[in-house]
Amino acid sequence: MKRLFVLISFVCPTLIFHGYSQHSLSFKTTKPYKWMFGIGWNVVDDDGRAFSHMLDVKNSWNYLYYPTTLSIDRYLSKGFSLELVGAYNKYSAAKCVNGQRNRPGTFVSIDLQGKYSFSNNMSNYEWFDPFVCVGLGVTYRDNYATQIVPTTNLALGANFWYRNVGLRLQTSGKLGLSGAIWTSDADYVHHSVSLLLKTSYRSKNKNSFNKSKHGWIHKKEKYRGRSK
């Protein structure tokens, strides 16, 4: 369905980001956060048109006005993290679904994915956090003959931070792992916008120096003159 969109939209920008990051001045050595929580909105583009009408909001984008996405992210090390995402949506009868209209239904997806953040290599741009995700998931759609389909996912996005609060923009390409994978009507594109909150990572430095504890190191010896 939209398989080439996945390759073009994700692989090429990933290479650009990677090349740019190699010219950054230094690598971060401290962990930027411990947990990251997100709540937001998602859009399902499941119209079956692989190369045209990519931004056809009126006819192809299914979305709801209230928050429909929850995510939790655990930072691991060196820019890598593990994320669990759940999303809910509704197919509108007025939208195109695999080339057809009048196919309303319920959409639910759960994804577990590994994420790499390029900000780990961009010490001078802490507010800008581009990333790439690869993972697996499962999608439920009650307007499909096969309602539950496992998927393999590739996502590209960016977080924009102000201290511990952020905004995320992300696009995912999902391939259904059932039947003829590359021509399956279970393939679709998933966009999301989320508000983020991250918790600080308090590392314990065993080699920290305590002046009050080791004050003897800098203690001045009193001068004692020679006795005559």
Q: What is the pLDDT of residue 156?
A: 96
Q: Is the pLDDT of residue 22 over 90?
A: no
Q: Please give the CATH architecture assigned to the domain spanning 3-24+32-203.
A: Beta Barrel (2.40)
Domain coordinates of the chain in residue numbers? 3-24+32-203
pTM, two decimals, is 0.76
pLDDT digits (tens, 9 = 90+) for 25-57: 445 567 889 999 999 999 999 987 765 677 788
Q: What is the mean pLDDT of residues 195-205?
A: 79
Average pLDDT score over the chain: 81
Q: What is the mean pLDDT of residues 209-214?
A: 48
Q: What is the mean pLDDT of residues 97-118?
A: 94
pLDDT digits (tens, 9 = 90+) for 109-168: 999 999 999 987 766 678 999 999 999 999 999 999 889 999 999 999 999 999 999 999
Q: What is the mean pLDDT of residues 193-218?
A: 65
Q: What is the mean pLDDT of residues 198-205?
A: 72
User: What DSSP string runs through the chain?
Assistant: --HHHHIIIIIHHHHHHHHHHTTSS----S-S-SEEEEEEEEEEE----SSS-TT-HHHHEE--SS--EEEEEEEEETTEEEEEEEEEEEE-TTS-BTTBS---EEEEEEEEEEEEEGGGG-TT-TTEEEEEEEEEEEEEETTSSS-EEEEEEEEEEEEEEETTEEEEEEEEEEEE-SSSGGG-TT-EEEEEEEEEEE-------TT---TTTTGGGGPPPPP-PPP-
